[in-house]
Amino acid sequence: MRLIGITGGIGTGKSTVTNYLQKQYNLPIWDADIYARSAVSINSPILQAISQRYGADILQPDGMLDRLRLGEIIFKDVNERQWLESQIHPYVRNCFETEISQLEPDGVAVLAIPLLFEAKMTDLTTEIWVVSCDRASQLNRVMTRDSIDQVAAEIRIDSQMSLADKIALADVTLDNSTNIEELARQIDHHFN
């Protein structure tokens, strides 16, 4: 079984890499962000726990989670972030474990996990690929994609575990500082 864990920093190109692996090699992509969203789907036990903790104001009128409001709470308070993660990470881990249990013994799959190290999910993978790029490219891509200024982009980047620390724990580092063709060349090299 080959279980490729893809991680990296905000805007470094993780989705670009998983999209390429899916298209080029027809691999299944299991995505922690999708599982984390389903963890707090409407009427789910975790969403109920969140609304009990923060009050019904944490829900939108349609009953869905108000992500912006929750984001403000957890960005300011590390204890609350840890509480939220203690609710969501086990759910996400369970989703991956279910997928792995259904993969054939010689199967290959991609696990897209932005918080692979922080959430201690490295044991779910057989190899870890970190998608990296230089700081200027990362800043530009985050500013453009999220329509935010440089200061706001720097705050988002610097609130994360550093890329250097992630690279130190990686089996493979993909440098996405230039263009998609060069990124694809590196992916082909490490996949084959």
Can you tell me the distance from the alpha carbon of 101 to that of 92, in angstroms, rounded to the nearest whole number? 14
Residue 14 interacts with ligand ATP (CB under 6 A)?
yes
Residue 159 interacts with ligand ATP (CB under 6 A)?
no
Beta carbon of residue 122, minimum distance to ligand ATP (angstroms, whole number): 18
Can you tell me the distance from the alpha carbon of 38 to that of 18, in angstroms, rounded to the nearest whole number? 20
In contact, 160 and 149? CB cutoff 8 Å: no
CB nearer to ligand ATP: pick between 16 and 126: 16
CB nearer to ligand ATP: pick between 87 and 140: 140
In contact, 84 and 70? CB cutoff 8 Å: yes
End-to-end CA distance of the chain: 15
CB nearer to ligand ATP: pick between 5 and 11: 11
Q: How far lies 86's CA from each of 92, 118, 167, 180, in Å?
A: 11, 12, 25, 36
Residue 141 interacts with ligand ATP (CB under 6 A)?
yes
Which residues lie below 8 Å from residue 65, measured CB to CB, with a gap of 6+?
A: 40, 47, 50, 58, 59
Per CB under 6 A, the segment of 44-52, 80-88, 95-103, 178-186 that binds ligand ATP is: 178-186
Instruction: Count CB-CB contacts under 10 A for residue 1.
Output: 11
Beta carbon of residue 182, minimum distance to ligand ATP (angstroms, whole number): 7
Residue 5 interacts with ligand ATP (CB under 6 A)?
no
Rounded to the nearest 10 degrees, the angle between the axes of helix 135-146 and helix 150-158 is 110
CB nearer to ligand ATP: pick between 46 and 130: 130
Residue 13 interacts with ligand ATP (CB under 6 A)?
yes
Per CB under 6 A, the segment of 10-18, 20-28, 63-71, 164-172 that binds ligand ATP is: 10-18
Residue 186 interacts with ligand ATP (CB under 6 A)?
no
Residues that bind ligand ATP (CB under 6 A): 8, 10-16, 114, 141, 145, 176, 179-180, 183
